[in-house]
Amino acid sequence: MENTGMPMLGAKFPTLEVTTTHGALTLPEDYKGKWFVLFSHPSDFTPVCTTEFVGFAQAQEEFDELNTKLVGLSIDGVTSHLKWVEWIKENIGVDVKFPIIADELGRTALKLGMVHDAVGTSTVRSVFIVDDKGVLRLIMYYPMDVARSIAEILRAVRGLQMADINEVVIPENWPNNKILGDAVLYKPAKTVEDALKQKERIEKDGGTYVDWWYSYKKLDK
């Protein structure tokens, strides 16, 4: 299958009209004003994918608190999705409440670069995080044989939202960075004039100034 390309970070997420286990859905329009995480999996009724779907379902309330919807996808039909969700509930006791796209012809997967010929015709483990303005903010890819970390996806959504609200940048493993703890970083100055004013501005803001390109602060909880 020929890959038709994929959207870029910072670009508007392409309009997708899809069939899901919850009926027809148009992305990103139907989630206007909300963030959403669109994630693909290789196939229904497979062990690694099952653990991921259980993880997403168990974390759904945390995503809801972040104004973030979950949407799954694979090149399986609606019937397969429904039977798999039923199996998960009956055998693991977890109710998958988010919609799953039935991309049987693979059109959505190809449009988003989810099919990698080198590893077969199934969708790889892709993650697309889209903000409340319909802008693509983050893309992750995982191979067939290693599951995603739902905690990392939650951390990424929290970090992106925190960065937007406070106009800051987020350090490694925030909020548990070994150097800064749960502090966040100021955006570095972009001009000589800004650099000269950076120290005064940061100290006035209650932050810790180290250098014009490296300063940080604690956020009010």
Among all residues, which ones are annotated catalytic? 49
Backbone angles phi, psi at 71, to 5 degrees: -140, 120
C-alpha distance from residue 64 to each of 57, 146, 170 (Å) = 11, 26, 22
- Which residues on adjacent β-strands are paired with residue 127? 39, 140
Give the sign of the dihedral formed by CA 139, CA 98, CA 75, CA 133: negative
Alpha carbon distance 144, 133 (integer Å): 31
Q: State the number of CA atoms in the 13 A half-sphere of 179 facing the CB.
A: 9
